[in-house]
């Protein structure tokens, strides 16, 4: 139980990362791969935010007078994840627009069937 308490967030984060990577390695449908990418990014974000967790900590906002700064969770991972989410969003938007154009040109989303470029 103690183990689960300590590592449940990490297990979740790495679970998401591995599911994302597995989808990207094994699947051939572009939409599925983009979903995998999204899951991978979510996992990474969850992992980074977990690094800042503090037992019984409060949000790092001085909204009242009597808040102690040493009971606040680490603000840096939250700032990093804000950046990472926006970057993930940008990549996702670009990937989806490319998927639209890919379907227009090839009439399929299966990357295995598209083999015009090769070594």
Partner 1 sequence: MKEITYINPVLLIAVPLALAFIIPILKFVWEKSIKWIPVAGFLFDLIVSITLIPIVLQKNIIVKIGGTTTPFSINLVVGPAGLLLSIMISLAGFLVAIYALKYIQEGDKTKYHILFMLLLTGAIGVVLTGDIFNLFVFFEVLCISSYALVGYLGNRAGIESSIKYLIQGSIGSSLLLVGIGLIYGQYGTLNMADLAAQIKTADSISLFVPMFFMITGLGIEAAIFPLNSWLPDAHSSAPSSISAVLSGIAIEVGLYAMMRILFTIFAAESFMGFLLFLGVITLLIGEMSAFSQNNIKRMLAYSSIGQIGLIVFAFSIATASGLSGGFFQMISHTLNKALLFLATGFMIYRTGSMEISSFRGLGKKMPLTALFFTIGTFSIIGLPPFVGFASKFLIFKAALAKQELLFIILIAVIILTTVIEGAYFFRIIQTLYFKESDDKSSKQESAITALIPMFIFALLILILGIYPNWIMKFIHSAASELLNKMSYLRSVLG
Partner 2 sequence: MKKFFSLILLIIIVVGMIYTIHQIPFGKNQSKIGKYFVANGKDETGAANIVTSVVVGYRSFDTLGEVTVLFLAAIGLGAILTTTKKQNHDIEKASLILNTGCRFLFPLVLLFSAYIFIHGHLSPGGGFQGGAVVASGFLLIYLACPGKRINKVGNTISESVGGLIFIILGAIGLFVGDRYFLANFLPKGELNTLFSAGIIPIIYIALGFKVGSELNSVIDKMMEES
Does 89 bind partner 2 (CB under 8 A)? Our answer is yes
Residue 110 phi, psi dihedral angles, 5° rounding: -80, 115
Q: Site residues for partner 2, window 35-54 (CB under 8 A)?
A: 50-54
Residue 6 binding partner per list partner 1, partner 2, none, with a CB distance cut-off of 5 to 8 Å that depends on partner kind: partner 2
Does 100 bind partner 2 (CB under 8 A)? Our answer is yes
Does 12 bind partner 2 (CB under 8 A)? Our answer is no
For helices 2-26 and 30-51, the axis angle rounded to 10 degrees is: 150
Choice from 96, 108, 110, 113 touching partner 2 (CB under 8 A): 96
Does 16 bind partner 1 (CB under 8 A)? Our answer is no
Does 111 bind partner 1 (CB under 8 A)? Our answer is yes
Residue among 21, 75, 4, 8 nearest 47 (CA): 8
Residues 13 and 19: their CA atoms lie apart, in Å, by 10
Q: Encoding tokens for residue 14?
A: 């790495």
């Amino acid at each position: 139980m103690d183990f689960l308490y300590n590592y449940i967030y990490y297990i979740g984060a790495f679970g998401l990362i591995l599911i994302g990577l597995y989808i990207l390695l094994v699947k051939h449908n572009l939409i599925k791969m983009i979903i995998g990418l999204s899951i991978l990014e979510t996992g990474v974000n969850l992992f980074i935010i977990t690094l800042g967790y503090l037992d019984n900590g409060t949000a790092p906002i001085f909204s009242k007078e009597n808040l102690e700064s040493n009971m606040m969770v680490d603000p840096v991972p939250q700032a990093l994840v804000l950046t990472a989410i926006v970057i993930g969003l940008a990549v996702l938007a670009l990937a989806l627009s490319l998927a639209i154009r890919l379907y227009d040109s090839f009439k399929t989303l299966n990357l295995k069937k598209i083999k015009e470029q090769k070594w």
